[in-house]
Amino acid sequence: MTWFISFVAHLLLGGVFVVYGIRNTRHVERLSGILAKRPFPLAGSAVRIGIFLQIVGGALTVLAPFHAMLGILGGAAMIVFLVLATVLFHPVWRYKADERTPHFTATMLNSSLVGAFLLVIATAL
């Protein structure tokens, strides 16, 4: 029973990132435009690398119950993705007042997800 619960947890946690990563493949230009306004060098390449991390890291997380190394790699890829996504797309320090709220919320959510992926890694060790 514990294995089943672990599998469902990994499926839900990693699966969401696979779905959103696939969805993001249709929004590369929009996401690249956001980074280009900062300005960020090679915005298109950065977005594509982020989407790759999102899909592969999510998929490895889903497969983590089958092999510990998949959990370690998946968790690490997702932590890198979340930190970069937070810093590049939700820089709280750049916004004031009401504009700050959605970015603060995203930062807090991403921080909690980093904790979840640290647990994925910890259980794989």
Confidence of residue 4 (pLDDT cuts 50, 70, 90): very high
Query: What is the per-residue pLDDT across 96-125, written as a single tens digit (0 to 9) for each?
Result: 888 999 999 999 999 999 999 999 999 999
Query: Average pLDDT over the chain, rounded to whole?
Result: 95
Q: How many CB atoms lie within 10 A of CB 71?
A: 26
pTM of the model: 0.92
Write down the H helix ranges in the chain. Answer: 2-24, 28-36, 43-63, 68-89, 100-124
Query: What is the per-residue pLDDT across 26-47, written as a single tens digit (0 to 9) for each?
Result: 999 999 999 998 877 899 999 9
Task: Among 52-61, 67-76, 94-103, 110-119, name the one with the lowest average pLDDT.
Answer: 94-103
**How far is the C-alpha of 19 from the C-alpha of 17, rounded, in Å?**
5
pLDDT of residue 40: 79
Domain ranges for the chain: 2-124
